[in-house]
Structure 1
Amino acid sequence: MASAAAKKSATTVKSAKGEKARAKLKSAALRVMEQVGYHKMRIVDVTAEAGVASGLFYHYFKDLKSLTLEVLGDFVSHSLQLEDIEKDVPKGDWYERMLAHNRLVVHSYAERPGIMRCLLQLADEDEDFSGLLRQNFIEQLSWLTRQMPKLFPEAAMSEHQSMMVAFTLAGTGEMVLRDYYINREPVLVAEALDAEQMAELITVIFYRGLFLENPPSEKLNYTANLEKVRRRKN
Protein backbone atom coordinates (compact mmCIF):
# COMPACT_ATOMS: atom_id res chain seq x y z
CA MET A 1 0.00 0.00 0.00
CA ALA A 2 1.37 3.40 -0.96
CA SER A 3 2.17 5.71 1.92
CA ALA A 4 0.23 8.96 2.45
CA ALA A 5 3.35 10.94 1.52
CA ALA A 6 3.73 8.99 -1.75
CA LYS A 7 0.06 9.54 -2.64
CA LYS A 8 0.39 13.26 -1.91
CA SER A 9 3.53 13.45 -4.06
CA ALA A 10 1.81 11.68 -6.98
CA THR A 11 -1.20 13.99 -6.71
CA THR A 12 1.06 17.04 -6.71
CA VAL A 13 2.92 15.83 -9.81
CA LYS A 14 -0.38 15.07 -11.58
CA SER A 15 -1.76 18.47 -10.63
CA ALA A 16 1.39 20.25 -11.80
CA LYS A 17 1.29 18.40 -15.13
CA GLY A 18 -2.39 19.24 -15.47
CA GLU A 19 -1.82 22.93 -14.84
CA LYS A 20 1.03 22.93 -17.34
CA ALA A 21 -1.22 21.32 -19.96
CA ARG A 22 -4.02 23.80 -19.27
CA ALA A 23 -1.58 26.69 -19.59
CA LYS A 24 -0.32 25.33 -22.92
CA LEU A 25 -3.87 25.07 -24.25
CA LYS A 26 -4.71 28.59 -23.11
CA SER A 27 -1.58 30.06 -24.67
CA ALA A 28 -2.32 28.18 -27.89
CA ALA A 29 -5.92 29.42 -27.91
CA LEU A 30 -4.71 33.00 -27.55
CA ARG A 31 -2.48 32.59 -30.59
CA VAL A 32 -5.19 30.89 -32.65
CA MET A 33 -7.76 33.56 -31.78
CA GLU A 34 -5.30 36.26 -32.82
CA GLN A 35 -4.92 34.58 -36.20
CA VAL A 36 -8.46 33.45 -37.08
CA GLY A 37 -10.82 34.83 -34.41
CA TYR A 38 -12.78 32.71 -31.96
CA HIS A 39 -15.71 32.10 -34.34
CA LYS A 40 -13.45 30.11 -36.67
CA MET A 41 -11.32 28.53 -33.95
CA ARG A 42 -11.64 24.74 -33.66
CA ILE A 43 -10.53 22.38 -30.92
CA VAL A 44 -8.12 20.67 -33.30
CA ASP A 45 -6.55 24.05 -34.07
CA VAL A 46 -5.90 24.69 -30.38
CA THR A 47 -4.52 21.23 -29.60
CA ALA A 48 -2.32 21.26 -32.70
CA GLU A 49 -0.95 24.68 -31.74
CA ALA A 50 -0.35 23.43 -28.18
CA GLY A 51 1.27 20.21 -29.41
CA VAL A 52 -1.06 17.91 -27.47
CA ALA A 53 -3.49 15.16 -28.50
CA SER A 54 -6.98 16.36 -29.41
CA GLY A 55 -8.57 13.97 -26.95
CA LEU A 56 -6.87 15.69 -24.02
CA PHE A 57 -8.83 18.90 -24.55
CA TYR A 58 -11.90 17.69 -22.64
CA HIS A 59 -9.78 16.70 -19.66
CA TYR A 60 -9.25 20.40 -18.97
CA PHE A 61 -12.10 22.33 -20.59
CA LYS A 62 -15.81 21.73 -21.05
CA ASP A 63 -15.88 23.22 -24.55
CA LEU A 64 -14.39 25.97 -26.70
CA LYS A 65 -16.67 28.61 -25.17
CA SER A 66 -15.40 27.93 -21.64
CA LEU A 67 -11.81 28.04 -22.89
CA THR A 68 -12.44 31.29 -24.75
CA LEU A 69 -14.04 32.94 -21.73
CA GLU A 70 -11.15 31.94 -19.46
CA VAL A 71 -8.45 33.04 -21.90
CA LEU A 72 -10.03 36.40 -22.63
CA GLY A 73 -10.92 36.91 -18.97
CA ASP A 74 -7.25 36.47 -18.05
CA PHE A 75 -6.27 38.89 -20.81
CA VAL A 76 -8.65 41.53 -19.44
CA SER A 77 -7.63 41.09 -15.79
CA HIS A 78 -3.99 41.81 -16.65
CA SER A 79 -4.87 45.47 -17.23
CA LEU A 80 -5.87 45.91 -13.56
CA GLN A 81 -2.38 45.47 -12.11
CA LEU A 82 -2.15 49.14 -11.10
CA GLU A 83 0.95 48.68 -8.94
CA ASP A 84 2.83 47.43 -12.00
CA ILE A 85 1.45 50.09 -14.34
CA GLU A 86 2.49 53.00 -12.12
CA LYS A 87 5.67 51.60 -10.55
CA ASP A 88 7.99 53.99 -12.40
CA VAL A 89 5.73 57.06 -12.39
CA PRO A 90 6.94 60.06 -10.35
CA LYS A 91 4.53 60.87 -7.53
CA GLY A 92 2.16 63.70 -8.42
CA ASP A 93 2.95 63.61 -12.15
CA TRP A 94 -0.54 63.32 -13.61
CA TYR A 95 0.53 63.37 -17.24
CA GLU A 96 2.94 60.46 -16.74
CA ARG A 97 0.37 58.62 -14.69
CA MET A 98 -2.23 58.88 -17.45
CA LEU A 99 0.37 58.01 -20.06
CA ALA A 100 1.31 54.82 -18.20
CA HIS A 101 -2.30 53.63 -18.22
CA ASN A 102 -2.79 54.55 -21.87
CA ARG A 103 0.42 52.80 -22.90
CA LEU A 104 -0.94 49.54 -21.54
CA VAL A 105 -4.20 49.89 -23.47
CA VAL A 106 -2.54 51.03 -26.70
CA HIS A 107 -0.04 48.17 -26.64
CA SER A 108 -2.91 45.70 -26.16
CA TYR A 109 -4.53 47.02 -29.34
CA ALA A 110 -1.30 47.41 -31.30
CA GLU A 111 0.16 44.01 -30.43
CA ARG A 112 -3.05 41.96 -30.24
CA PRO A 113 -5.66 43.55 -32.54
CA GLY A 114 -7.19 40.13 -33.24
CA ILE A 115 -7.66 39.47 -29.53
CA MET A 116 -9.16 42.91 -28.99
CA ARG A 117 -11.61 42.20 -31.81
CA CYS A 118 -12.54 38.91 -30.09
CA LEU A 119 -13.09 40.76 -26.81
CA LEU A 120 -15.56 43.15 -28.44
CA GLN A 121 -17.33 40.40 -30.38
CA LEU A 122 -17.73 38.17 -27.35
CA ALA A 123 -19.01 41.10 -25.30
CA ASP A 124 -21.80 41.51 -27.87
CA GLU A 125 -22.74 37.84 -27.58
CA ASP A 126 -22.26 36.99 -23.90
CA GLU A 127 -23.96 39.13 -21.27
CA ASP A 128 -21.74 38.00 -18.41
CA PHE A 129 -18.56 38.69 -20.35
CA SER A 130 -19.94 42.06 -21.43
CA GLY A 131 -20.44 42.89 -17.76
CA LEU A 132 -16.87 41.85 -16.99
CA LEU A 133 -15.55 44.09 -19.76
CA ARG A 134 -17.59 47.08 -18.60
CA GLN A 135 -16.56 46.56 -14.99
CA ASN A 136 -12.91 46.35 -16.05
CA PHE A 137 -13.24 49.67 -17.88
CA ILE A 138 -14.88 51.30 -14.86
CA GLU A 139 -12.20 49.97 -12.50
CA GLN A 140 -9.52 51.34 -14.82
CA LEU A 141 -11.06 54.79 -14.35
CA SER A 142 -11.86 54.53 -10.66
CA TRP A 143 -8.29 55.41 -9.64
CA LEU A 144 -8.85 58.79 -11.30
CA THR A 145 -12.42 59.45 -10.20
CA ARG A 146 -11.43 58.89 -6.57
CA GLN A 147 -8.89 61.70 -6.90
CA MET A 148 -11.03 64.21 -8.78
CA PRO A 149 -12.67 65.81 -5.69
CA LYS A 150 -9.16 66.51 -4.36
CA LEU A 151 -7.93 67.78 -7.73
CA PHE A 152 -10.88 70.12 -8.23
CA PRO A 153 -12.26 70.93 -4.75
CA GLU A 154 -13.94 74.15 -5.91
CA ALA A 155 -15.95 72.26 -8.53
CA ALA A 156 -17.69 70.18 -5.83
CA MET A 157 -18.09 67.29 -8.29
CA SER A 158 -20.12 64.31 -7.16
CA GLU A 159 -18.74 60.79 -7.51
CA HIS A 160 -21.18 60.15 -10.35
CA GLN A 161 -20.28 63.35 -12.18
CA SER A 162 -16.57 62.55 -11.82
CA MET A 163 -17.16 59.13 -13.37
CA MET A 164 -19.22 60.62 -16.21
CA VAL A 165 -16.42 63.06 -17.07
CA ALA A 166 -13.72 60.39 -16.93
CA PHE A 167 -15.87 57.88 -18.84
CA THR A 168 -16.59 60.39 -21.61
CA LEU A 169 -12.93 61.32 -22.06
CA ALA A 170 -11.71 57.73 -21.94
CA GLY A 171 -14.48 56.57 -24.27
CA THR A 172 -13.20 58.90 -26.96
CA GLY A 173 -9.80 57.25 -26.81
CA GLU A 174 -11.32 53.76 -26.95
CA MET A 175 -13.24 54.68 -30.10
CA VAL A 176 -10.05 55.89 -31.80
CA LEU A 177 -8.19 52.71 -30.85
CA ARG A 178 -10.95 50.48 -32.24
CA ASP A 179 -11.11 52.34 -35.53
CA TYR A 180 -7.33 52.55 -35.89
CA TYR A 181 -6.22 49.05 -34.88
CA ILE A 182 -9.29 46.86 -35.46
CA ASN A 183 -11.39 48.51 -38.16
CA ARG A 184 -8.32 49.99 -39.88
CA GLU A 185 -10.25 53.09 -40.90
CA PRO A 186 -8.40 54.35 -44.02
CA VAL A 187 -8.46 58.02 -43.04
CA LEU A 188 -6.79 57.16 -39.72
CA VAL A 189 -4.18 54.68 -40.95
CA ALA A 190 -3.17 56.84 -43.92
CA GLU A 191 -0.07 57.61 -41.85
CA ALA A 192 1.31 55.01 -39.47
CA LEU A 193 1.60 55.87 -35.79
CA ASP A 194 3.71 53.80 -33.46
CA ALA A 195 2.32 52.81 -30.07
CA GLU A 196 4.17 55.58 -28.24
CA GLN A 197 2.76 58.25 -30.55
CA MET A 198 -0.76 56.90 -30.15
CA ALA A 199 -0.45 56.71 -26.36
CA GLU A 200 0.84 60.29 -26.27
CA LEU A 201 -2.00 61.56 -28.48
CA ILE A 202 -4.72 59.96 -26.37
CA THR A 203 -3.09 61.13 -23.13
CA VAL A 204 -2.76 64.72 -24.33
CA ILE A 205 -6.41 64.87 -25.41
CA PHE A 206 -7.50 63.35 -22.09
CA TYR A 207 -5.24 65.69 -20.09
CA ARG A 208 -6.47 68.78 -21.92
CA GLY A 209 -10.09 67.74 -21.53
CA LEU A 210 -9.68 67.15 -17.81
CA PHE A 211 -7.37 69.97 -16.74
CA LEU A 212 -8.28 72.50 -19.46
CA GLU A 213 -4.60 73.12 -20.09
CA ASN A 214 -1.70 71.58 -21.99
CA PRO A 215 0.64 69.01 -20.44
CA PRO A 216 4.24 70.14 -19.83
CA SER A 217 5.70 70.81 -23.28
CA GLU A 218 9.00 69.06 -22.50
CA LYS A 219 7.11 65.76 -22.22
CA LEU A 220 5.65 65.97 -25.73
CA ASN A 221 6.98 64.81 -29.07
CA TYR A 222 4.32 63.77 -31.57
CA THR A 223 1.78 66.25 -30.19
CA ALA A 224 4.12 69.14 -29.34
CA ASN A 225 2.45 71.39 -31.94
CA LEU A 226 -0.95 70.95 -30.23
CA GLU A 227 0.21 73.39 -27.58
CA LYS A 228 -0.54 76.09 -30.14
CA VAL A 229 -4.14 74.88 -30.54
CA ARG A 230 -5.89 77.32 -28.25
CA ARG A 231 -9.11 79.26 -28.36
CA ARG A 232 -8.39 82.82 -29.38
CA LYS A 233 -9.48 85.23 -26.66
CA ASN A 234 -11.65 88.15 -27.66
Structure 2
Amino acid sequence: MSTEAPKPLTRRAERTRAKLVTAARKVFEKHGVLETRIVDIAKEAGVAVGSFYTYFESKEELLREVAATLYVELIPPLPAEVGPDPRARIEAGNRAYVRAYEKNARILTLVQHQTLSDATLRGLYEEARAAFIARVERSIRRLQREGLSPKDVSPRLAAHMLAGMVHEFCYTTFGFGTVDFDPEEAVSTLTTLWTRALALKPETKKKSKP
Protein backbone atom coordinates (compact mmCIF):
# COMPACT_ATOMS: atom_id res chain seq x y z
CA MET A 1 0.00 0.00 0.00
CA SER A 2 1.34 3.40 -0.98
CA THR A 3 1.92 5.88 1.84
CA GLU A 4 2.48 8.84 -0.46
CA ALA A 5 0.24 11.85 0.12
CA PRO A 6 -2.18 12.58 -2.72
CA LYS A 7 -0.93 15.15 -5.21
CA PRO A 8 -2.56 18.58 -4.95
CA LEU A 9 -5.24 19.26 -7.52
CA THR A 10 -4.70 21.68 -10.36
CA ARG A 11 -6.91 24.77 -10.46
CA ARG A 12 -8.94 23.21 -13.24
CA ALA A 13 -9.38 20.03 -11.23
CA GLU A 14 -10.38 22.04 -8.16
CA ARG A 15 -13.04 23.82 -10.21
CA THR A 16 -14.39 20.52 -11.55
CA ARG A 17 -14.50 19.02 -8.06
CA ALA A 18 -16.28 22.09 -6.71
CA LYS A 19 -18.81 21.89 -9.55
CA LEU A 20 -19.58 18.29 -8.60
CA VAL A 21 -20.14 19.26 -4.95
CA THR A 22 -22.44 22.14 -5.93
CA ALA A 23 -24.33 19.95 -8.39
CA ALA A 24 -24.71 17.19 -5.82
CA ARG A 25 -26.36 19.56 -3.36
CA LYS A 26 -28.99 20.46 -5.96
CA VAL A 27 -29.62 16.89 -7.09
CA PHE A 28 -29.79 15.45 -3.57
CA GLU A 29 -32.29 18.16 -2.62
CA LYS A 30 -34.43 17.42 -5.66
CA HIS A 31 -34.42 13.62 -5.69
CA GLY A 32 -33.31 12.58 -2.21
CA VAL A 33 -30.24 10.51 -1.44
CA LEU A 34 -31.53 7.06 -2.41
CA GLU A 35 -33.00 8.13 -5.75
CA THR A 36 -30.03 10.25 -6.83
CA ARG A 37 -27.82 8.67 -9.49
CA ILE A 38 -24.23 9.54 -10.28
CA VAL A 39 -25.25 10.22 -13.86
CA ASP A 40 -27.69 12.87 -12.56
CA ILE A 41 -24.93 14.62 -10.62
CA ALA A 42 -22.53 14.52 -13.55
CA LYS A 43 -25.18 15.94 -15.87
CA GLU A 44 -25.99 18.77 -13.46
CA ALA A 45 -22.28 19.56 -13.12
CA GLY A 46 -21.74 19.42 -16.88
CA VAL A 47 -19.02 16.78 -16.71
CA ALA A 48 -18.65 13.24 -18.01
CA VAL A 49 -19.63 10.38 -15.71
CA GLY A 50 -16.07 9.08 -15.95
CA SER A 51 -14.81 12.38 -14.55
CA PHE A 52 -16.90 11.83 -11.43
CA TYR A 53 -14.75 8.87 -10.43
CA THR A 54 -11.59 10.93 -10.77
CA TYR A 55 -12.64 12.80 -7.64
CA PHE A 56 -15.09 10.57 -5.77
CA GLU A 57 -15.50 6.83 -5.36
CA SER A 58 -19.26 6.95 -4.78
CA LYS A 59 -22.22 9.26 -4.27
CA GLU A 60 -21.96 8.50 -0.55
CA GLU A 61 -18.46 9.95 -0.47
CA LEU A 62 -19.70 13.02 -2.31
CA LEU A 63 -22.57 13.38 0.16
CA ARG A 64 -20.01 13.51 2.97
CA GLU A 65 -18.22 16.32 1.16
CA VAL A 66 -21.51 18.17 0.77
CA ALA A 67 -22.20 17.70 4.49
CA ALA A 68 -18.78 19.08 5.44
CA THR A 69 -19.41 22.28 3.45
CA LEU A 70 -22.86 22.66 4.99
CA TYR A 71 -21.57 22.37 8.55
CA VAL A 72 -19.01 25.11 7.90
CA GLU A 73 -21.84 27.41 6.77
CA LEU A 74 -23.82 26.72 9.96
CA ILE A 75 -21.17 28.02 12.37
CA PRO A 76 -19.10 30.69 10.59
CA PRO A 77 -16.84 33.09 12.54
CA LEU A 78 -18.74 36.06 13.94
CA PRO A 79 -18.46 39.22 11.82
CA ALA A 80 -15.85 41.68 13.13
CA GLU A 81 -18.43 44.45 13.29
CA VAL A 82 -20.46 42.62 15.96
CA GLY A 83 -18.14 43.92 18.67
CA PRO A 84 -17.75 42.69 22.27
CA ASP A 85 -21.33 43.12 23.55
CA PRO A 86 -22.38 39.65 24.84
CA ARG A 87 -26.03 39.81 23.77
CA ALA A 88 -25.10 41.10 20.31
CA ARG A 89 -22.64 38.23 19.89
CA ILE A 90 -25.20 35.65 20.98
CA GLU A 91 -27.75 37.15 18.61
CA ALA A 92 -25.28 37.19 15.71
CA GLY A 93 -24.41 33.53 16.29
CA ASN A 94 -28.07 32.53 16.46
CA ARG A 95 -28.88 34.55 13.33
CA ALA A 96 -26.08 32.88 11.36
CA TYR A 97 -27.28 29.41 12.39
CA VAL A 98 -30.99 30.11 11.76
CA ARG A 99 -30.40 31.76 8.39
CA ALA A 100 -28.03 29.03 7.19
CA TYR A 101 -30.41 26.27 8.30
CA GLU A 102 -33.40 27.96 6.70
CA LYS A 103 -31.49 28.33 3.42
CA ASN A 104 -30.28 24.71 3.39
CA ALA A 105 -33.06 22.99 5.36
CA ARG A 106 -33.90 20.33 2.76
CA ILE A 107 -30.35 19.04 2.26
CA LEU A 108 -29.44 19.36 5.96
CA THR A 109 -32.46 17.25 6.92
CA LEU A 110 -31.56 14.63 4.32
CA VAL A 111 -27.98 14.51 5.58
CA GLN A 112 -29.08 14.14 9.20
CA HIS A 113 -31.32 11.21 8.28
CA GLN A 114 -28.43 9.53 6.47
CA THR A 115 -26.28 9.67 9.60
CA LEU A 116 -28.36 6.77 10.90
CA SER A 117 -26.90 4.45 8.27
CA ASP A 118 -23.55 6.06 7.46
CA ALA A 119 -21.02 5.97 10.30
CA THR A 120 -18.60 8.31 8.54
CA LEU A 121 -21.34 10.85 7.92
CA ARG A 122 -22.42 10.59 11.53
CA GLY A 123 -18.84 11.26 12.56
CA LEU A 124 -18.86 14.48 10.53
CA TYR A 125 -22.15 15.49 12.13
CA GLU A 126 -20.86 14.82 15.64
CA GLU A 127 -17.65 16.71 14.88
CA ALA A 128 -19.61 19.77 13.70
CA ARG A 129 -21.97 19.53 16.68
CA ALA A 130 -19.01 19.30 19.06
CA ALA A 131 -17.43 22.39 17.48
CA PHE A 132 -20.66 24.34 17.92
CA ILE A 133 -21.01 23.25 21.54
CA ALA A 134 -17.36 24.01 22.28
CA ARG A 135 -17.75 27.55 20.96
CA VAL A 136 -20.82 28.09 23.14
CA GLU A 137 -19.02 26.66 26.17
CA ARG A 138 -16.06 29.01 25.66
CA SER A 139 -18.47 31.93 25.46
CA ILE A 140 -20.22 30.93 28.70
CA ARG A 141 -16.92 30.49 30.53
CA ARG A 142 -15.80 33.94 29.38
CA LEU A 143 -19.07 35.51 30.57
CA GLN A 144 -18.65 33.84 33.96
CA ARG A 145 -15.04 35.01 34.28
CA GLU A 146 -16.12 38.57 33.50
CA GLY A 147 -18.91 38.42 36.08
CA LEU A 148 -21.65 38.79 33.47
CA SER A 149 -23.21 35.39 34.18
CA PRO A 150 -23.54 33.47 37.48
CA LYS A 151 -21.15 30.60 38.09
CA ASP A 152 -23.81 28.26 39.49
CA VAL A 153 -24.41 26.76 36.02
CA SER A 154 -22.13 24.20 34.39
CA PRO A 155 -20.72 25.79 31.20
CA ARG A 156 -20.41 22.41 29.51
CA LEU A 157 -23.94 21.26 30.30
CA ALA A 158 -25.46 24.65 29.53
CA ALA A 159 -23.64 24.70 26.19
CA HIS A 160 -25.11 21.31 25.24
CA MET A 161 -28.62 22.45 26.16
CA LEU A 162 -28.51 25.88 24.50
CA ALA A 163 -26.93 24.59 21.29
CA GLY A 164 -29.48 21.78 21.27
CA MET A 165 -32.33 24.28 21.63
CA VAL A 166 -31.22 26.23 18.56
CA HIS A 167 -30.55 23.15 16.45
CA GLU A 168 -33.77 21.35 17.37
CA PHE A 169 -35.85 24.45 16.63
CA CYS A 170 -34.26 24.76 13.18
CA TYR A 171 -34.49 21.03 12.45
CA THR A 172 -38.18 20.72 13.29
CA THR A 173 -39.27 24.11 11.95
CA PHE A 174 -37.32 24.46 8.70
CA GLY A 175 -36.57 20.80 8.11
CA PHE A 176 -40.19 19.70 8.22
CA GLY A 177 -41.91 23.03 7.62
CA THR A 178 -44.74 22.21 10.00
CA VAL A 179 -44.90 25.76 11.43
CA ASP A 180 -44.27 29.06 9.70
CA PHE A 181 -42.12 31.39 11.84
CA ASP A 182 -40.54 34.68 10.89
CA PRO A 183 -36.76 33.98 11.04
CA GLU A 184 -35.92 37.31 12.69
CA GLU A 185 -38.58 36.81 15.35
CA ALA A 186 -37.16 33.34 15.93
CA VAL A 187 -33.63 34.76 16.30
CA SER A 188 -34.85 37.38 18.78
CA THR A 189 -36.76 34.82 20.86
CA LEU A 190 -33.92 32.31 20.88
CA THR A 191 -31.54 35.05 21.99
CA THR A 192 -33.89 36.16 24.76
CA LEU A 193 -34.26 32.60 26.05
CA TRP A 194 -30.48 32.12 25.81
CA THR A 195 -29.62 35.28 27.77
CA ARG A 196 -32.27 34.58 30.41
CA ALA A 197 -31.00 31.04 30.86
CA LEU A 198 -27.54 32.46 31.58
CA ALA A 199 -28.97 35.32 33.72
CA LEU A 200 -26.85 37.57 31.54
CA LYS A 201 -26.09 40.95 33.09
CA PRO A 202 -25.54 44.12 31.06
CA GLU A 203 -21.91 44.60 30.14
CA THR A 204 -20.16 46.88 32.62
CA LYS A 205 -18.19 49.62 30.90
CA LYS A 206 -14.76 50.26 32.33
CA LYS A 207 -14.34 53.72 33.81
CA SER A 208 -11.68 55.83 32.15
CA LYS A 209 -8.87 57.12 34.30
CA PRO A 210 -9.05 60.81 35.21
TM-score tier, shorter chain, comes to 0.7 to 0.9
Q: Which of residues 9, 32, 54 in structure 2 aligns to 1:59? A: 54
CA contact (8 A) 1:32 1:41 kept: yes
* Structure with more helix by fraction: 1
What is the rounded CA distance, in whole Å, between the counterparts of 1:120 and 1:78 in structure 2? Answer: 15
**Paired residue type of 1:54:** V
Q: Could you tell me whether the CA contact under 8 Å between 1:117 and 1:182 is conserved in 2?
A: yes
Per-residue deviation, residues 161-208 of structure 1 (Å, max 9, x unmatched)? 3111121122122222111111223xxx1xx32322222222221121
Shift of the alpha carbon at 1:156? 4.7
| Larger RCO, structures 1/2 (Cα 8 Å, 6+ apart) | 2
1:16 to 2:11 alignment: yes
Displacement after TM superposition at 1:24 (Å): 0.9
| Residue aligning to 2:168 | 175
Structure possessing the higher radius of gyration over alpha carbons = 1
Query: Helix, strand or coil for the counterpart of 1:182?
Result: coil
Structure 2 unaligned blocks of 5 or more: 1-6, 204-210
Read off the aligned partner of 1:39 and give its amino acid letter. Answer: L
- Aligned residue in 2 for 1:48: 43
The corresponding residue for 1:129 is 121
Distance 1:202-1:163 versus aligned 2 partners, 3 A rule: same
The one-letter amino acid paired with 2:164 is G
Secondary structure of 1:62 counterpart = coil
Match of 2:79 among 86, 105, 123: 86
Aligned pairs for 1:175-214 (under 5 A) are 175-185=168-178, 189=179, 192-211=180-199
Corresponding residue for residue 8 of structure 1: none
- Find the partner of 2:155 among 162, 165, 183: 162
Counterpart-to-counterpart distance in 2, 1:173 and 1:18? 37
1:147 to partner: Cα distance: 4.0
Alignment root-mean-square deviation, CA: 2.7
Distance 1:19 1:149 in 2: 40
TM-aligned CA distance change 1:80 to 1:177, over 3 Å: closer
Taking a change above 3 Å as real, the CA distance of residues 56 and 150 of structure 1, as seen in their structure-2 partners, is: closer
Task: Indicate the SS of the match to 1:38.
Answer: coil
Say which SS state the counterpart of residue 88 (structure 1) adopts: helix
1:68 maps to a residue whose letter is L
Tell me the TM-score normalized by structure 1: 0.73
Match of 1:76 among 71, 75, 92: 71
Structure 1's 177 and 144: CA in aligned 2 closer, same or farther, altered over 3 A?
Answer: closer
CA offsets 1:10-66 (integer angstroms, 9 cap, x no match): x99x82222211111111001112222222211111111111222321122111111
Identify unmatched segments of 5+ residues in structure 1. 1-10, 217-234
The question of whether the paired residues in 2 share the 8 Å contact of 1:102 and 1:202 is answered with yes
C-alpha contact (below 8 Å) 1:79/1:104 kept by paired residues: yes
Percent identity between matched residues is: 27
- TM-score when scaled to structure 2? 0.80
- Asked if residue 140 in structure 1 is aligned to residue 135 in structure 2, the reply is no
Give the count of matched residue pairs: 194
